[in-house]
Structure 1
Amino acid sequence: MDGQDMSQVHLYSQLMETQSQILIEAQKRKGKRPQLASRDELAMQYKFSRMMGERQSNLDHEMETIFMPSAYAPSVISFANLTKIMINDLRLEIHHRGSFVLLRSIVPADCTSGAFCIVEDEEGGVFIVKEPYLTQLEDGNNGIRVDHATDISYLSMGNPLIPASWRQTSRDDRANAEEIKLKGNEYFLKGKYYAAIDSYSKGIDRDPTEDEFCALKLNRSLAFFKTNQLTFALSDIDSVVGVSKQVGKTLLRKSQILYEMQQFRSCCDVLKRLISEFPNNKTAMVELTRAIRRVAEQENGRYRFEKMHTEAGNIRPPYLDHATYIGPVSVKATASWGRGVFTTENIKAGDLLLVEKAFAFAFVGDDKPKGKISILVNPDTKEVTMGAQRELMGMMIRKLYQIVDTFLIERILHYNAFTCPLSTREQFLSRMHMAINQSDEYFHSCGIWQMASYINHSCISNAHRSHIGDMMIVRASRDLPSGTEVVSEYHRPDADDDYGAHTKRLKQWGFECDCRMCEARMETNESTQRRALRENAVAALQAGKIAEIDAALKEFEKAHTESSLDVPRIELSTLQFLLAKKHLRQNSPGKAVESVLKALSSLGFVVKGGEIPRLSHTALTVETWGLMTDHAVDCC
């Protein structure tokens, strides 16, 4: 993730070392029987802890700290093949493989950080934990830790696994399908969608009539839709299409599910069928117009970007109603970097390569920037990161809910997630106005864009990404022949970075860059001449004497022996752009243009027709596109 690495900050490095030591001490108790507090003692501790937690939650400046335990695999064995054990059978720091424990809660769950509650085996919800892991918690108490969502299951009271002494008789046990459907409707109206799904499923098992069956399936489909279980929602709808007497409702519901699944062409087909049978259905007509726009985006890349910026500014969180467009690119194997993205036809600079809606996107707004920010501490990898990673992990887990490996998801996010602003355009304008260094900016919002995650790194990029809400836009920044790998910088070297510092930043992705810029920096790493010349040029710019600036920049330029067509001279171009701005402020536009052309040349651009005085009938053309930087964009 191109986010904020906190592992070198003293406070957080200390935090990581403390947690590492706790894990080491915990392993010394491995296999031992824990000393368990009484039921009343635990309940009292829980009540006090929750009270203190509520007080802390009112403090806006507090950020949650999440400690990752040592990674372990999720359970992949079905309950039928596991052996039941009791709490007294559990031993510390052991994953009890081949077993399960049946528990019930004695207090309401505290969801301040994850979900925490007091449980006993054989008053409250009943759970099964597969292959339980008993460990020492952060507060020093012992607890059964569940990191994989699929390792724990909630059991309804009718489940035969629940002991007779725990079972609570209810009217649902004797209710018919219609009565259970009404109970499910009550849950649905209260926003308890999972409870509604459970009720509708019970009703389907109670020998319903054909009409009741269709109603239960339609209602359960909507509950699945609300919980983003779109495959299940579509399956329920398909099972009643052609059977349900509520044809209009069924077809409209199916179109809505297909829309959310981004199957816009199929969505249009369903809506056209609906309109043919119900010509006066205005909702269907509005939905068809919307779906046709999505098809134009998805198949032809036709977007109204100005409108998208407006939407992103008004919607919170900024989940935009737009389609993914995959342009003339495809994923293929590379020679040495796994898979990458390659062009499938000749591309011109500025052409649209892809516009992608995030698979999952966690937004942190400027109005309350620390509301969703967490510190993620991973002692195994010695990493401390700040951002909305915890929220993004939760989104990923819910979307991948089969057998979910939380630690694998954490690694996927580490290597593939992007941090981003709400709007790259607005962020760029703000940065140019306030003279903020791009490398000093960090964004807490983050997301996963599946196609974009295949784009490999190079400091000499040939594509540029931007963001509008949860949409990522990738354009070519150079002319690209068919079959060219699309590359973009994960982190561009800072002017003050030597080769070692830049390499260290890239190591979080597990590789060393071998581009020509990095090779050149490695070759000149031990020389202090270029750094001294750059510092002289910076000092001259700050002093503001044009003659001294020109002389310093000429000396700095001489220190670059590589062709700028092969190795862009980022530091030199930045200073030349700043000199151009100084010329403008002194009302010398001709000299400003001259400095801009030099700066563009330093980045590898070959520009014709820009000389001052301008020759008549000579068009301004870019014959070769160089490295695109913020200053290059700003000068346009």
Structure 2
Amino acid sequence: MAVAVSAPGLPVTADKAAADAPLTTKGLKPKRFTKEELLQTHQTYLKTQDDSPNAPRPVKQPILSEAYPASTKSIRDLEIIPLSELHPETHHRGKGIIVKAVSPPFVGAGAVSVVEDEFGNADKLAIYNQPDSSILSGVPEGCVIAVKEPYYKNNGAERDFIICVDHPSDVILLRFTDPIIPEPLRLGPLLKTAEDWKKAGDHAFIEKDFPTAVFCYTEAIEASEDDAFKAPIFTKRAGVNLILGRYDAAKSDALASRTGGPQDWKAYYNAGRAAYGLCSYAESNTLLSKALELNPSHDGIQKEHARCAARLREEETGSYDFPEMLASLAPNHVHLDRGSFLSNTRVGPSEHHGRGLFATRDIKAGEIVFVEKATLMPNQYDPSRASAALYALMVRQLCENPSLNSQVLGMHHGTYERSGLEGTVVDGVPVVDVFLLEAIRTTNCFSAPRSTVADTRATRVEGRMAKGLWVHAAAMNHSCVPNTMRSFVGDVLISRATRDIKAGDELFHQYVPVKSLPDVRAQQQREGWGFACDCDLCTTEKRCSEGGLARRKELLAAVEKLCNKKLPGRELIPDASIRAVDKLTKQLEEAHEASIYVEGVPRLTLIYPCNWLVGAHRGRKNHAKVVKYALKVLRNFGFRVPDESEVWDPRDLYSQSGNTALMSLHVVKALRRLGEAYEALGHKEMAERSLEAAELGYTMVTGFKNELAVMDR
């Protein structure tokens, strides 16, 4: 998918002088182009249309500040008006139009057609956000459609207007025999018999025109009263819907094809595959088991049944082969065939932000909290297109699979005002409000690398991020010092405990990596999600004086400028530079109020300079100083660690009583440097313990056990 930034509809047809003319006054009937003028201009753009079937289709992504609600009324409850009664810049509430397409569609971010009403009035109609499986994604010439509560707007120039349909449920493809169609628009059925429609569907299927095949099979079913004739048509339509990913419809059709005979194995087989596509593995298992009873030797049923059993085991045990999952990833293969392990957690009311996620049992530091396959995630690793791709996928899936509405529409939607009727089936389709979906997307989506393991490598490719929705994970509330950490393998999210968690404890994660300065952090949370964090760190830092905060800002900026915001590698840093940074770091330490930043409270502004000093002393092989500053890094993350002269066990780091420390990849790196320095100083046991702690931390960061050397590749 690509993001469309052009204005909706066809390019304007008037010259610059006309384009600069003022818009027609709202409420007055505008002077429009004639049907002949519209068709002539439309034809010029049809000649430029890209007919490449594999070309990415642009997306018109909604702007929330321009939101308007989807229609929740049936077309039969609206007053049908002629096109001549449309007023510019108006949402015609309580009204509807019925028109016939009199041109082929110009397909871009939407599908633009010239349409005509029963009185011969003509105008342009732009239909956006239709799934590719729908005929409405490119309305064929001659089809009759109804638009509910149409939005009529100026298209950029004088006399140039367009009917703009953003919500996919606001437009209905009418059957040719629908009595609501006015007589002048009636063509009658294009084919006379159910058999003719079946043959037309078969032909469309052979041509791989699957939306038309579904339409023709539907007409065949509606035209016949013979159940014996309709049963195989239901089977055909179920198969096409499976190809299109319309799993709800496929399951319904498959079950409707049953006759009570031994051939019903195919009905249960197709219904089981459809349920699997919806990740309803228990239901899929039941349906496939019935298919296996009727046809126990069928290889396809056996294979699907075994695959479903594997997903059920994952859901029950939380046992995954993560290295195999990682190895299977490719740029065009990130949707992993896995189940979700969620039984360690439950959603419940939270004292923080309405609802949250809670542990159902004790969970040790490093253990899996839950594993969740994405509800929705496109195969799109391009940050400039990731948001548009996820939005388009959300709209398409909620149109094609209405059962997802119960999962997605219950998610937090910010301040967007909803009707409460979203997802309700009206005129045979669920009400889909694209602005609500965009509000849900912006509030709940996660950015995800192809794998978190690869994202920790020194040679990682920057910017290769996708966006997705994980409905269960989205129920978790934010904390700047959370007790879980998430990672990704393809479209699978892995959550691990970063400290010991008791049954009943609320689970938290970071919405985004936290900023070191509390005022910057607060602004990020306020503007991004509209809340004020009340975690232990934020609550503590609210007591800081403005003068102290200003001083820390000043010193941090000085350190970053001196170091060019770059951590050293193995290069030899001059002693003078090290002394200068060390001096500023000590001043920064003193700028933290002792009465506020007690032991166990993170001091995030000190992490960068202490990390820099670890690298600088490592380059000079000053191992004692590496130990000193690596311990400071851990201490500044909130871990309770001793001075460099004391003996301690780094393996107990994550299970400390009252631990509210912040876990990060920098903690892993500090422990690793600590282990190297202990080894060089002859403290072998301490070195081993430090590296064991680093390995456990790296498991939290990457989601599963990996060699620390991966970070250097």
TM class by shorter chain equals 0.7 to 0.9
Question: Does 29-38 or 579-588 show the bigger shift?
Answer: 579-588
Rounded Cα–Cα distance in structure 1 between residues aligned with 2:292 and 2:524: 60
Q: Does 1:425 align with 2:425?
A: no
Partner of 2:392 in structure 1? 391
User: Which residue of 94, 97, 105 corresponds with 2:93?
Assistant: 97
Alpha-carbon RMSD = 3.5
In the alignment, which of 642, 646, 652 is matched to residue 621 of structure 1?
Answer: 652
Q: What is the rounded CA distance, in whole Å, between the counterparts of 2:100 and 2:251 in structure 1? A: 33
In the TM superposition, 1:27-106 aligns within 5 A as 29-49=25-45, 70-106=66-102
**Residues 210, 586 of structure 1: alpha-carbon distance in 2 compared, 3 angstrom cutoff:** same
Quote the Cα distance in structure 1 between the aligned partners of 2:371 and 2:292: 31
Give the distance between the partners of 2:244 and 2:83, measured in 1 at CA. Answer: 33
- Give the TM-score taking structure 2 as reference length: 0.74
Shift of 1:612: 6.8
Structure scoring higher RCO (CA < 8 A, sep ≥ 6) equals 1
Q: Is the aligned partner of 1:509 residue 2:529?
A: yes
Aligned partners of 2:483 and 2:507 also within 8 Å: yes
Alignment partner of 1:487 is 2:508? yes
1:191 counterpart residue number: 208
Q: CA deviation at 1:139?
A: 5.7
Match for residue 592 of structure 1?
Answer: 626
Match of 1:453 in 2: 474
CA contact (8 A) 1:499 1:521 kept: no
SS at match of 1:75: coil
Output the TM-score relative to the length of structure 1.
0.82
What is the deviation of 1:460? 1.7
Q: Is 1:172 the counterpart of 2:220 in the alignment?
A: no
* Pick aligned residue for 1:529 from 551, 561, 575: 551
The answer on whether the counterparts of 2:395 and 2:432 sit within 8 Å (CA) in structure 1 is no
* Partner amino acid, structure 2, of 1:531: K
Residue 247 of structure 2 corresponds to residue 215 of structure 1: no
The aligned residue for residue 365 of structure 2 is: 349
Which residue of structure 2 lines up, in the alignment, with residue 380 of structure 1? none
How far is 1:558 from its partner? 2.6
Aligned residue number for residue 591 of structure 2: 559
Q: Deviations over 1:34-82 (max 9, x none)?
A: 2110112222333445566759x9999x997765673222222222222
**Matches of 1:328 and 1:559, distance apart in 2:** 42
After superposition, where does 1:167-316 map in structure 2 within 5 Å? 167-168=186-187, 172-173=191-192, 175-177=193-195, 179-207=196-224, 209-241=226-258, 243-313=260-330, 315-316=332-333
Query: Tell me, what secondary structure is at the counterpart of 1:308?
Result: helix
Aligned partners of 1:387 and 1:444 also within 8 Å: no
Aligned equivalents of 2:541, 2:25: Cα separation in 1: 50
Going from structure 1 to structure 2, the CA distance change for 1:490 and 1:115 (only over 3 Å counts) comes to: same
CA distance in 1 between partners of 2:397 and 2:170 (Å): 16
- Which residue of 1 is the match for residue 181 of structure 2? 162
Structure 1 residue 87, shift from structure 2 partner: 0.6
**Could you say what secondary structure the match of 2:87 adopts?**
coil
8 A contact 1:387–1:443 mirrored in 2: no
SS at match of 2:358: strand
1:503–1:513: 8 Å Cα contact kept in structure 2? no
**Residues 238 and 388 (structure 1), Cα distance of their counterparts in 2 relative to 1, 3 Å cut:** closer
Contact in 1 for aligned 2:450/2:464 (Cα 8 Å): no
Residue identity opposite 1:578 in structure 2 = W
Match of 2:126 in 1: none
Tell me: CA distance 1:281–1:565, structure 2 relative to 1, closer, same or farther (3 Å).
Answer: farther
Q: Deviations over 1:268-324 (max 9, x none)?
A: 3443443444343222222222112111111221111112222332534x2221112
In structure 1, C-alpha distance between the alignment counterparts of 2:540 and 2:71, rounded to whole Å: 49
Count of paired positions = 584
* CA pair 476-115 structure 1, distance change in 2 beyond 3 A: farther
Distance verdict in 2 for CA 1:50–1:276, change over 3 Å: closer
Give the drift of 1:597.
Answer: 2.3
Shift of residue 354, structure 1, vs aligned partner: 2.0
User: Is residue 2:150 matched to residue 1:132?
Assistant: yes
| Corresponding position of 1:472 | 493
Q: 1:116 maps to what in 2?
A: 112
Q: Secondary structure at the match of 1:364?
A: coil
Offset of 1:521 from its aligned partner?
Answer: 4.8
Q: Which amino acid aligns with 1:310?
A: A
Name the SS of the counterpart of 1:360 in structure 2.
Answer: coil
| Contact 2:214-2:240 within 8 A present in 1 as well | yes
Question: SS of 2:176's equivalent?
Answer: coil
For residues 352-403 of structure 1, the C-alpha deviation after alignment (integer angstroms, 9 at most, x for no partner) is: 222222222233235xx75x46xxxxxxxxxxxx654542443354244511
The 1:513–1:53 alpha-carbon spacing in structure 2 relative to 1, beyond 3 Å, is farther
**2:336 paired residue number:** 320
The CA distance in 2 between the partners of 1:299 and 1:58, in whole Å, is 40
CA distance in 1, matches of 2:629, 2:315: 42
**For each residue in 1:410-459, what CA deviation from the matched residue of structure 2 results, as whole angstroms up to 9, or x when unmatched?**
211121122222222212224xx57x9xxxx7666222211111111222
Q: Deviations over 1:447-475 (max 9, x none)?
A: 22111111112222222122222222222
Aligned equivalents of 1:59, 1:184: Cα separation in 2: 26
Instruction: Give me the whole-angstrom Cα distance separating, in 1, the residues matched to 2:645 and 2:557.
Output: 30
Please identify, of 87-96 and 540-549, the stretch whose mean Cα deviation from structure 2 is larger.
540-549
Match of 1:382 in 2: none
Identity of aligned residues (%): 26
1:613: how far off? 8.5
Q: Separation in 2 of the partners of 1:138 and 1:397? A: 32
Q: Which amino acid aligns with 2:150?
A: P
Preserved CA contact (<8 Å) 1:607 1:620? no
Whole-angstrom CA distance in 2 between matches of 1:198 and 1:490: 44
Cα distance in 2, alignment partners of residues 484 and 605 from structure 1? 20
The alignment partner of 2:471 has SS state of coil
Structure 2: distance between partners of 1:613 and 1:444: 43
Q: Judge conservation of contact 1:541–1:579 (CA < 8 Å) in 2.
A: no
Q: Which residue, out of 438, 456, 466, partners 1:410?
A: 438
**Greater Cα shift, 391-400 or 595-604:** 391-400
Structure 1 CA distance, aligned partners of 2:227 and 2:60? 51
Change (3 A) 1:614 1:505: closer
Match of 1:327, SS state, is coil
Cα deviation, 1:10-42, whole Å, max 9, x if unaligned, reads: xxxxxxxxxxxx9xx86x832121211011222
Which amino acid in the other structure matches residue 144 of structure 1?
A: I
Which 5+ residue runs of structure 1 have no aligned equivalent? 1-5, 7-21, 374-385
Once residues 59 and 541 of structure 2 are traced to their aligned partners in structure 1, the CA distance between those partners, rounded to angstroms, is 38
Seen in structure 2, the aligned counterparts of structure 1 residues 288 and 504 have a Cα distance that, compared at 3 Å, is closer
> Of 139, 152, 162, which residue of structure 2 is paired with 1:143?
162
CA gap of 1:245–1:230, structure 2 versus 1, over 3 A, is same
Contact 2:168 2:432 in 1 (8 A): yes
After superposition, the Cα gap between the structure-2 partners of 1:516 and 1:394, relative to the gap in structure 1 and judged at 3 Å, is same
Tell me the alpha carbon deviations over residues 496-540 of structure 1, each in whole angstroms, 9 at most, x when there is no partner: x56157414532311222334334555344443223333454466
Q: 1:442 to 1:332 in 2, by over 3 A?
A: farther
